């Protein structure tokens, strides 16, 4: 497991996640995944782009071990998880809805993962407190979820997943419920946080701009059922900020992805926004 | 403090108005005391019999409280049992729902038959009245638990015990209190009914005897005390609820 700690992304970088031959369909529903293969390297920020209803959340639930695949294998780090179902998977999962506990304050909501992995309560709280300022949550320790804005709730949820220590971190459309302005500032904030922590992240979205802005690599799911993912390497320099969306290379990549998704490419640059 | 005055004052004034109207109308229209006694007569009767009424009050309250406590114990236990074991739920839940169509009042004499005229027949009638709302609402409370939170906890390696204590129980508390509040108000009725069916003392017996003797002011003073008891029990449970569910941002908090 020690190779997971390496944070350099290169061709030889160890895999954080390997999916091979994954097939899945809900009972009576359409086939969502058909012999899907893909992998994520340790330390990489990968965006998974797919239209709504394509099965993105379902994929995360498969990766998290919450649903069993019909066929195929999901490996975390080096070990094979599908062959030892009793073993606990340790991915970090941030669900699409924030799923905060209304009966807990910010501090104890964020400490949930630590608490469940046996960290003593005081120690867990101390570690949450340390991170609150950089999550823009200073002074909200005692607040309940209903007293927070949508953006703050997502940050608490993200902090909770980050602290649970799982690897890789699966983020399921964390900003899709937010208004455009809050979303933009949350994206910039996530870029900063990621620079600090450099966790392996698999980020689900159906927003092309968001995928390009945040990730090292975009995986595009254009088919239904999803049987393969088209790869787009994002060569934009890091650290990034929101102004990256104006760069010509960004627009070039965006055009490429829209084509892959089967949309008619926009005639004027930026008219698709 | 200011807020509580603001909420209590209108209610208090309205009660005063009703009391004044009661006194006025019964006096003006010379309503016979066995139909509606004058309020002043009722209050006088309350005062005269305060020691006797006090003893009856404590007894009835004791029966209601004991029955209520046992109902909480049984109701919550069965709700938890149904939650833990799917088979128990599939067998019991429909039965419990169906049993609510049985007129409980009609069942009460059975309790007298089984437990005699002592205090246990009253307590068992209270349980008969209050068990269902607690069991059903607590069970429904478990079902309202957000499955997303459960899944998230499982990805964090939560054990069954963790899931139960940190997710299911806190999620079920609002439902439990809905049932508990309902049960608290009807427990007094259950105790009074138990006493009517056969008993020596308690406010139910007191009002029934007074009614047989057409002593309107005594009947009304008993009814007044029973109502007061119901309100007190309800308020006590609501207070407990507000302490336990403090700061959750429930709909309750916003309304009050
Ligand atoms: N528990 C379930 N049982 C049966 N079908 C389901 C279940 N959950 C999801 N589905 C179906 O599977 C498909 C994929 O759902 P999923 O939630 O994974 O989509 P998604 O890509 O995450 O969509 P969105 O972008 O709207 O969140 C949908 O057609 C949905 O109706
Ligand atoms: Mg989804």
Query: How many A from CA of A200 to the centre of ligand 2?
Result: 20
Which chain A residues touch B241 with a CB distance below 8 Å? none
Using DSSP's 3-state secondary structure scheme, residue A240 falls into coil
Query: How many A from CA of A58 to the centre of ligand 1?
Result: 6
On whether both B244 and B133 belong to a single domain, the answer is yes
Query: Is the CB of residue A67 less than 8 Å away from at least one CB of chain B?
Result: no
Q: Which of B151, B154, B247 sits opposite A144 (nearest CB)?
A: B247
Q: What is the pLDDT of residue A239?
A: 85
Percentage of residues in chain A having pLDDT higher than 90: 45
On whether both B12 and B122 belong to a single domain, the answer is no
Mean pLDDT of chain B: 90
Are B148 and A97 within 8 A, CB to CB? yes
Q: Which residues line ligand 1 (CB under 6 A)?
A: A 26, 29, 32, 50, 52-58, 96, 206
Interface test with A, best of B156, B242, B243 (most A CBs within 10 A): B156
Is the confidence at residue A268, as pLDDT, over 50? no
On whether both B190 and B212 belong to a single domain, the answer is yes
Nearest CA to ligand 1 atom 28: A53
Nearest CA to ligand 1 atom 10: A26
CA-A60 nearest atom, ligand 1: 18
What's the pTM value of the predicted model, to 2 decimals? 0.83
- For chain A, give every domain's residue range: 15-91+167-267, 101-165
On whether both B187 and B243 belong to a single domain, the answer is yes
Please answer whether residues A98 and A156 qualify as being in contact, where contact means their C-beta atoms are separated by less than 8 angstroms.
yes
- Rounded to whole angstroms, what are the CA distances from B38 to B41, B190, B211, B215, B229? 5, 28, 16, 12, 22
Question: B252: distance to nearest CA of chain A, Å?
Answer: 14
ipTM value: 0.83
Is the confidence at residue B254, as pLDDT, over 80? no
On whether both B81 and B208 belong to a single domain, the answer is yes
Which chain A residues touch B247 with a CB distance below 8 Å? 105, 144
Please, which residues bridge with residue A93 across strands? A170
Place of tokens 């179902």: A85
Are B156 and A164 within 8 A, CB to CB? yes
Q: What is the pLDDT of residues A30-55, one digit of tens each?
A: 899 999 999 999 889 999 998 888 89
On whether both B85 and B9 belong to a single domain, the answer is no
- Confidence band of A5 (pLDDT split at 50, 70, 90): very low
Nearest CA to ligand 1 atom 6: A26
On whether both B135 and B201 belong to a single domain, the answer is yes
Domain residue limits at B18 = 1-30
On whether both B100 and B158 belong to a single domain, the answer is yes
Are A97 and B156 within 8 A, CB to CB? no
d(CA A167, CA B76): 39
How many other CB atoms sit within 10 Å of the CB of residue A242? 13
Out of A193-197, A239-243, B212-216, B247-251, pick the least confident.
Answer: B247-251
Q: What is the pLDDT of residue B89?
A: 86
Any idea what the CATH number is for the domain that residue B234 is in? Answer: 1.10.3720.10
CB interface of A with B, residues 140-179, below 8 Å = 144-147, 164, 166
Query: Is the CB of residue A116 less than 8 Å away from at least one CB of chain B?
Result: yes
What average pLDDT does the segment B153-171 reach? 94
Is the confidence at residue A263, as pLDDT, over 70? no
CA-A27 nearest atom, ligand 1: 4
- Confidence band of A77 (pLDDT split at 50, 70, 90): confident
Are A166 and B156 within 8 A, CB to CB? yes
Q: With residue A145 as reference, give the H or E element that holds it.
A: none
Domain count, chain B: 2
On whether both B9 and B92 belong to a single domain, the answer is no
Which chain A residues touch B155 with a CB distance below 8 Å? 64-66, 89, 91-93, 164, 166
On whether both B139 and B201 belong to a single domain, the answer is yes
Nearest ligand for residue A207 CA: 1
Please answer whether residues A259 and A69 qualify as being in contact, where contact means their C-beta atoms are separated by less than 8 angstroms.
no
- Rounded to whole angstroms, what are the CA distances from B141 to A98, B76, B133, B144, B252? 21, 11, 12, 5, 16
Q: Which of B152, B158, B247 sits opposite A93 (nearest CB)?
A: B152
Q: What is the pLDDT of residue A238?
A: 84
On whether both B55 and B16 belong to a single domain, the answer is no
Query: Is the CB of residue B246 less than 8 Å away from at least one CB of chain A?
Result: no
Query: Is the CB of residue A91 less than 8 Å away from at least one CB of chain B?
Result: yes
Are B148 and A99 within 8 A, CB to CB? yes
Q: What is the pLDDT of residues B231-252, one digit of tens each?
A: 999 999 999 999 999 878 654 4
Residues 6+ apart with CB under 8 A from A190: A158, A174, A214
Which chain A residues touch B253 with a CB distance below 8 Å? none
Nearest CA to ligand 1 atom 3: A26
On whether both B151 and B218 belong to a single domain, the answer is yes
Are B249 and A144 within 8 A, CB to CB? yes
Distance of CA A237 to the CA centre of its chain: 20
Please, which residues bridge with residue A74 across strands? A19
In chain A, the residue whose alpha carbon lies closest to the alpha carbon of B160 is A116
Question: B244: distance to nearest CA of chain A, Å?
Answer: 10
Architecture of domain A15-91+167-267: 3-Layer(aba) Sandwich (3.40)
Are B157 and A102 within 8 A, CB to CB? no
Is the confidence at residue A255, as pLDDT, over 70? yes
Interface test with B, best of A66, A87, A95, A116 (most B CBs within 10 A): A116
């Amino acid at each position: 497991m020690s190779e997971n700690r390496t944070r350099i992304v290169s061709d030889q970088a160890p895999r954080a996640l390997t999916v091979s031959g994954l097939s899945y369909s809900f009972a009576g529903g359409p086939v969502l995944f058909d012999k899907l293969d893909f992998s994520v390297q340790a330390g990489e920020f990968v965006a998974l782009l797919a239209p709504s209803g394509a099965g993105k959340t379902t994929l995360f639930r498969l990766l998290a071990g919450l649903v069993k695949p019909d066929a195929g294998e999901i490996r975390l780090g080096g070990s094979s998880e599908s062959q030892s179902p009793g073993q606990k998977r340790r991915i970090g999962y941030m669900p699409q809805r924030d799923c905060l506990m209304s009966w807990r304050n910010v501090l104890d909501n964020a400490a949930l993962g630590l608490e469940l992995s046996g960290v003593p309560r005081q120690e867990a709280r101390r570690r949450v407190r340390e991170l609150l300022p950089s999550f823009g949550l200073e002074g909200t320790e005692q607040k309940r979820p209903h007293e927070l804005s949508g953006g703050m709730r997502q940050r608490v949820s993200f902090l909770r997943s980050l602290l649970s220590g799982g690897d890789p971190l699966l983020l399921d459309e964390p900003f899709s419920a937010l208004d455009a302005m809050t979303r933009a500032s949350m994206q910039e904030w996530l870029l900063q946080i990621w620079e600090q922590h450099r966790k392996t992240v698999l980020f689900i979205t159906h927003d092309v701009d968001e995928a390009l802005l945040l990730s090292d690599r975009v995986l595009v799911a254009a088919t239904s059922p999803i049987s393969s993912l088209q790869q787009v390497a994002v060569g934009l320099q890091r650290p990034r900020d929101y102004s990256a969306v104006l760069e010509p290379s960004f627009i070039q990549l965006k055009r490429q992805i829209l084509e892959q998704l089967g949309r008619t490419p926009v005639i004027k640059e930026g008219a698709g926004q | 403090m200011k807020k509580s005055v603001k909420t209590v004052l209108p209610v208090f004034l309205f009660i005063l108005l009703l009391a004044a109207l009661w006194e006025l109308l019964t006096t003006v229209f010379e309503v016979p005391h066995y139909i509606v006694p004058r309020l002043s007569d009722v209050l006088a009767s309350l005062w005269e019999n305060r020691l006797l009424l006090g003893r009856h009050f404590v007894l009835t309250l004791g029966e209601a409280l004991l029955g209520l406590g046992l109902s909480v114990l049984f109701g919550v236990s069965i709700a938890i049992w149904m939650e833990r074991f799917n088979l128990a739920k599939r067998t019991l839940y429909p039965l419990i729902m169906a049993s609510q169509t049985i007129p409980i009042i009609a069942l009460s004499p059975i309790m007298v038959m089984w437990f005699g005229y002592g205090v246990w027949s009253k307590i068992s009638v209270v349980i008969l009245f209050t068990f269902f709302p607690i069991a059903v609402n607590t069970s429904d409370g478990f079902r309202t638990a957000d499955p997303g939170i459960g899944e998230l906890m499982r990805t964090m390696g939560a054990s069954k015990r963790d899931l139960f204590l940190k997710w299911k129980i806190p999620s079920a508390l609002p439902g439990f209190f809905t049932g508990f509040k309902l049960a608290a108000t009807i427990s007094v009725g259950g105790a009074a009914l138990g006493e009517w069916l056969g008993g020596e003392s308690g406010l139910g017996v007191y009002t029934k005897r007074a009614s047989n003797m057409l002593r309107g002011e005594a009947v009304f003073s008993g009814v007044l005390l029973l109502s007061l008891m119901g309100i007190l029990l309800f308020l006590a449970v609501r207070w407990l609820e507000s302490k336990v569910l403090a700061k959750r941002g429930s709909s309750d908090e916003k309304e009050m």
